[in-house]
Structure 1
Amino acid sequence: MFTGIVQGTAEVVAIHEAKAFRTHVLALPAELCEGLSLGASVAHNGVCLTVTAIDGERVSFDLMRETLRVTNLGAVREGDRVNIERAARFGDEIGGHVMSGHVMALAELVELDEAPNNRRLWFEVPHALSRFLFDKGYIGVDGISLTIGEVKAATTGQGPRFCVDLIPETLARTILVDRAPGDGVNIEIDPQTQAIVETVERVLQARGA
């Protein structure tokens, strides 16, 4: 389980490619290596990955075919940085919202509005996710717990869109500061929102509504 409170970023210092498979080696900050062991879960841009090797501060993670297909980690290159969050432990403060680390889709950054001390980002998502988007609802973007500012319905030639507003602290601690229009980000819908929407849909369908 994760909280969407990114603890820092880490550089991908090596990538080992295989058929429909790759291994990322990250240089984790010392504070994120404390107590880390083989088999531990660490979120990269919101994707739950398992520690497969530890060599000092160089930590390895394996990415299977489905992870490469569904997320933006397949586009990561050596020298890139990713958002990092260690798995939550019992008793930790939940400062964001509960996240599973299972990315549902990619969204495209389509518009970026700069303003003093904050930045507004607009993302376009696949049509299938539109039913989960609500003003002031929660959403995970590259592993960051964010509040949706506004939702725009799909129009001809344009998919559903939502925006988030970022404060300087979020920009300083995450890779969203470097995102530009055309970039793809990992999206995880708030699990509670997903459960409520899907339950209501099933009830209404059973009633013939």
Structure 2
Amino acid sequence: MFTGIVQGTAEVVAISEAEDFRSHVLRLSEPLRAGLEIGASVSHNGVCLTVTAIDGERVSFDLMRETLKVTNLGALQVGDRVNVERAARFGDEIGGHAMSGHVMGMAQIVDIESSPNNRRIWFLPPQELARFLFDKGYIGVDGTSLTIGRVESDPEVGAVRFCVDLIPETLARTVIAERVVGELVNLEIDPQTQAIVETVERVLAGRGH
């Protein structure tokens, strides 16, 4: 389990490709790799990956076909950076919200509004996920626990979009500060919201509504 409180960013320093398979190597700082062992779970842009090798500051991970298909990790190149969070431990403070590290899809950045002390980013999510989005609800964006500012219909594309507001601390600690219009981010829906919505839908369907 993860909390969505990104602990830092790490550079991709090597990538090896195979058919429907990829391995990549991150350069992790000492605080991020303290106590890290092979088999441990680490979130990369919100995707739970397993440590496969450790060579000093270079830590390796494997990415399977499904991961490459539904997340933005398959588009990474050497030199890119990713948000990193180590798996939560019992007794840790949960500063964000509970996240599984199982990305449900990608959203495209469609607009960025900047001001001196914050930034608002608008996203166009997969429309099948729109029913889980609510004003002031939780959302995982590239592994960062964020609060949805507003959900609305985008008149230009006739689809639902949503925004988040980012404070300087979030911009300083995560890769979201580097994102530009047109890029894709990983989304994880708040599991509690998903469970509530799907339960209500089943109840209503059972009543014939």
TM-score normalised by length of structure 1: 0.98
CA distance in 2, matches of 1:98, 1:204: 27
The SS at the match of 1:97 is: coil
Instruction: Summarize the alignment of residues 89-108 of structure 1 with structure 2, pairs less than 5 Å apart.
Output: 89-108=89-108
Deviation of 1:187 after TM superposition, in Å, equals 0.3
Q: Which residue of 1 aligns with 2:118?
A: 118
Q: Which residue of 2 aligns with 1:49?
A: 49
Instruction: Summarize the alignment of residues 60-209 of structure 1 with structure 2, pairs less than 5 Å apart.
Output: 60-153=60-153, 155=155, 157-209=157-209
With over 3 angstroms needed to count, the CA separation of the structure-2 counterparts of 1:17 and 1:37, relative to structure 1, is same
Which stretches of structure 1, 4 residues or more, deviate above 3 A after TM superposition? none
The SS at the match of 1:153 is: strand
Deviation of 1:15 after TM superposition, in Å, equals 0.2
Contact 1:108 1:123 in 2 (8 A): yes
Contact 1:126 1:159 in 2 (8 A): no
Q: Which residue of 2 aligns with 1:26?
A: 26
Q: Which residue of 2 aligns with 1:5?
A: 5
The SS at the match of 1:136 is: coil
The SS at the match of 1:205 is: helix
The SS at the match of 2:50 is: strand
Deviation of 1:156 after TM superposition, in Å, equals 6.4
CA distance in 1, matches of 2:179, 2:157: 23
What is the one-letter code of the residue matched to 1:160? V
Deviation of 1:159 after TM superposition, in Å, equals 2.2
What is the one-letter code of the residue matched to 1:149? G
Deviation of 1:158 after TM superposition, in Å, equals 3.4
Deviation of 1:85 after TM superposition, in Å, equals 0.2
**Aligned residue pair count:** 209
CA distance in 2, matches of 1:61, 1:182: 27
* Residue segments in structure 2 that go unaligned for 5+ positions in a row: none
CA distance in 1, matches of 2:118, 2:49: 31
CA distance in 2, matches of 1:36, 1:127: 38
What is the one-letter code of the residue matched to 2:130? S
Tell me the C-alpha RMSD between the 2 structures: 0.9
CA distance in 2, matches of 1:3, 1:51: 19
The SS at the match of 2:67 is: helix
Deviation of 1:78 after TM superposition, in Å, equals 0.2
Deviation of 1:160 after TM superposition, in Å, equals 1.1
Deviation of 1:116 after TM superposition, in Å, equals 1.6
The SS at the match of 1:197 is: helix
The SS at the match of 1:73 is: helix
Deviation of 1:157 after TM superposition, in Å, equals 2.6
Identity of aligned pairs, percent? Answer: 73
Deviation of 1:153 after TM superposition, in Å, equals 2.5
